[in-house]
Structure 1
Amino acid sequence: MRGATAETVRRALDEDDPLPGTRGFAGAVDGRLVRDVLGRQPLFFDGDDWAFAPGELADPEPFPAGHAGQVDDPTAAERVWSLPDPDPVTDEREAVVSLREALTGALDEVAAADGGTEAATAVAFSGGVDSAVVASRLDAPLYVAGFPESHDVAAARDAADAMGRDLRVVELTPDDLERAVPEVARAAGRTNAMDVSIALPLYLVAERAAADGYGRLAVGQGADELFGGYAKVARAPEDPRVEADTVRGARRELLGTLPDQLERDVLALRAAGVEPVAPMLDDRVVRAALALPGDALVDDRGERKRALRLAARAFVPDRVAFREKKAVQYGSLVSRELDRLARQAGFKRRTDDHVSKYVASRVE
């Protein structure tokens, strides 16, 4: 079992509790395979075999999040947990206070795990509110990866300066991407351009942190999905990319994508030599986020992640709490440079999905 004790998982099963106080779990308990409701720990099966990584199986299938099934017949797994759908808290101040307390508890638990000795944990730091809050209560080095002129490197430098923290910059080159592309694609079991471009900067940050002697990497994963960080959530119901007719409903749709996304990120980070730690996906934080009203996710001016930004003021300066940030594949310029590598290798833009074809060729 990864991510929780067998006793905790048994209690979650007995009490139908989808958020029993962990940061996710997966594995076998009492002859049953289980995976937590948000899929925060990857799990795979092939016939009656199972593993935490797809490369250990001949024909791996992801074990579905929120399900349990017999170890000798995982194909017959049944849903045992679903995300709570609480009524929204009507008092914004109360909602922000609850969220701030949940974040404090989650972050302090991560800090305590290092036992007060030299930090075994590093932080993937892009300068946005998510990673800044994660970094704020951890006595750990901050790492950012990006090409020298990238938005993420500039934002991380500014945020680290505002927070009085040192920053370690992993300046990327085309050679770094060319080397890492097949490694990331094999680890994640994917060759599509979007997945690989998202995982690459994480992998390269983790690789440097591991080389520096850190065994864990704290990340801000989950914050955009939990707190309304996507434009398509903010534009619901007008945005055709979501089916929901409210911001809260669109947020719930996006939470359904987390198991697939986290599978990619966790596998890439482990392949780089670190164990990911995601305080934003602590059950306490998830519970507080699910209780937020729609205007605490996106306010009437269209500002996303409003409640998180307000709660973040207790942890970071305002210029960091209210900073807008690009998605990692664009902010690091990895997506641009991956496109350039594909074209240099003869995969022209007029070809459908030319970057994915380039990635697949590198894996082969």
Structure 2
Amino acid sequence: MRGADERLVRRARETRDPLPGTAGFAGELDGRLVRDVLGRQPIFSERDDPATWSFDHRDLTDAVAVPPGHARQTTGDGQTADEQLWSLPSPAATTNIETALAAVRDAVLESVRAISDDGLAVAFSGGVDSAVVAAGVPDAPCYVVGFEGSHDIAAARNAADAMDRDLRVVELTHAAIERAVPEIVDALGRTNPMDIQIVLPLYLLAEQVAADGYDRLAVGQGADELFGGYAKVAKAPDDPRVEAETVRGAAREMVLTLPGQLERDVLTLRAAGVEPVAPLVHDSVVEAALPLPGELLVADGRRKVALRTAAAELLPESVAEADKKAVQYGTYASRELDRLARQAGFKRRMENHVQQYVESLLE
């Protein structure tokens, strides 16, 4: 069992508790493969032989992921049989603002301070998510990745100065992108350009972290989804990218995308040689975030209100309130992957030109 003690998982199964106090788990339990409700630990089995399984799909011939919150029988007629054990809670919005803020503060601070810094580095972009994680491990080195001149490098330098932290910069290059893309596709089994653009800088940062002798990487994943960090959430219901009629409903939509995103990130970082540590998706933080009312997600254009309020106890105001671009844009990974595609003859007028370029690198 990865991520949690087997006895705790068995108890969670018996009580159907979806948030039993872990940072995610997966493994074999009493003849079944189990995976936590947010899919924070990926696990796969052979399509026609569920008794053959692995935490890495590359170990299998025809891998099928166990769905988040499910158990898969490993014995029987050779067919996958999945049973849903856990569902993500959908609590009503908290009406007591002070209680809600205190719950987030306590959960976030406890989770980031509980991280061991043994063999640990921090992926640090200068935004509130990675900064609050870094604040929990003051002796761990901070790394930022991007092309020189990118938003993330500038933001990380400013934040590191404000927090009095040393910062190590991993500069992206076109040659590194061309080398890394096939390795990422192999790790993920995906050629979707958006997925590649998102994890490309993380992969190259993690490679450098591993080369420097660290085997664990603390990341701020999950904060945008749980705490209302997306523009499309802030603009709900007027943004066509969400179906919800409220900010809170749009945030829920984003939370439900976490399993696919976390699986992608975990597989990528492991392929680069590090084990991810994601304290902002610990059960306690998830449990505190789910009941937040809309005004503690977005208020007057300010996103992640509750998280920033909690972070104010750990961070300088300039860092707690800093804006953050999505990693693929803040590092220029998206822009430069597009540039490489066009230089290779895959013009924007062509359908899915970046994906065609990605696939050409696999040949």
**TM category, shorter:** over 0.9
- Structure 1 residue ranges, 4+ long, deviating more than 4 angstroms after superposition: none
Structure 1 residue 91 displacement after superposition: 2.5
Instruction: Indicate which of 57, 62, 86 corresponds to 1:59.
Output: 62
Instruction: Report matched runs for 1:146-157 at 5 Å.
Output: 146-157=146-157
8 Å CA contact 2:122–2:143 kept in 1: the answer is yes
Contact 1:45–1:74 (8 Å) recurs in 2: no
- Please say if 1:79 is aligned against 2:79: no
Instruction: Give the C-alpha shift of residue 45 in structure 1.
Output: 2.1
Contact 2:227 2:306 in 1 (8 A): yes
SS of match in other structure, 1:9:
helix
Q: Percent identity?
A: 64
Matched, 1:333 2:332: yes
- The residue type paired with residue 324 of structure 2 is K
Identify the residue that residue 246 of structure 2 maps to in structure 1: 246
Which structure 2 segments of 5+ residues have no match?
none
1:216, 1:88 → 2: CA distance?
35
Matched with 1:182 is 182
Deviation string for 1:84-111 (max 9, x for gaps)? Answer: 1222222222222211111121112213
Q: Secondary structure at the match of 2:34?
A: strand
Which residue in 2 is equivalent to 1:91?
A: 96
CA displacement 1:146-187 (0-9 Å, x = unmatched): 000100000000000000000000011111111111111111
1:101 aligned to which of 106, 118, 123: 106
Q: Distance in 1 between matches of 2:106 and 2:182?
A: 41
State the alpha-carbon separation in 2 of the partners of residues 107 and 142 from structure 1. Answer: 15
Q: Is the 8 A contact 1:33 1:74 kept in 2?
A: no
How large is the Cα RMSD of the aligned pairs? 1.2
User: Which residue is equivalent to 2:237?
Assistant: 237
Deviates more, 1:185-194 or 1:162-171: 185-194
CA distance in 2, matches of 1:212, 1:126: 19
- Which SS does the other structure have where 1:217 is aligned? strand
Point out where structure 1 has 5 or more consecutive residues left out of the alignment. none
Q: Secondary structure at the match of 1:110?
A: coil
Hey, what's the Cα distance between the residues in 2 that align with 1:342 and 1:258? 29
Q: Does 1:132 align with 2:131?
A: yes
Distance 1:219 1:315, change over 3 A: same
Tell me the alpha carbon deviations over residues 113-167 of structure 1, each in whole angstroms, 9 at most, x when there is no partner.
x4xxxx4100000000000000001020000000001000000000000000000
| Residue 238 of structure 1, CA deviation | 2.1
Structure 2 distance, partners of 1:362, 1:68, is 37
How far off its partner does 1:74 sit?
6.5
Question: Are the equivalent residues in 2 in contact too, given 1:123–1:141 (CA < 8 A)?
Answer: yes
Q: 1:28 maps to what in 2?
A: 28
Give, as a single letter, the amino acid of the residue that structure 1 aligns with 2:65: P
Structure 1 partner of 2:258: 258
Shift of 1:75: 2.4
| 80-89 vs 269-278, which moves further | 80-89
- Contact 1:186–1:363 at 8 Å: present in 2 too? no
1:3-35 Cα distance to aligned partner (Å, 9 max, x none): 111101101001110001100011111101111
Name the amino acid aligned to 2:155.
A
Give the aligned length: 357
User: Is 1:320 paired with 2:319?
Assistant: yes
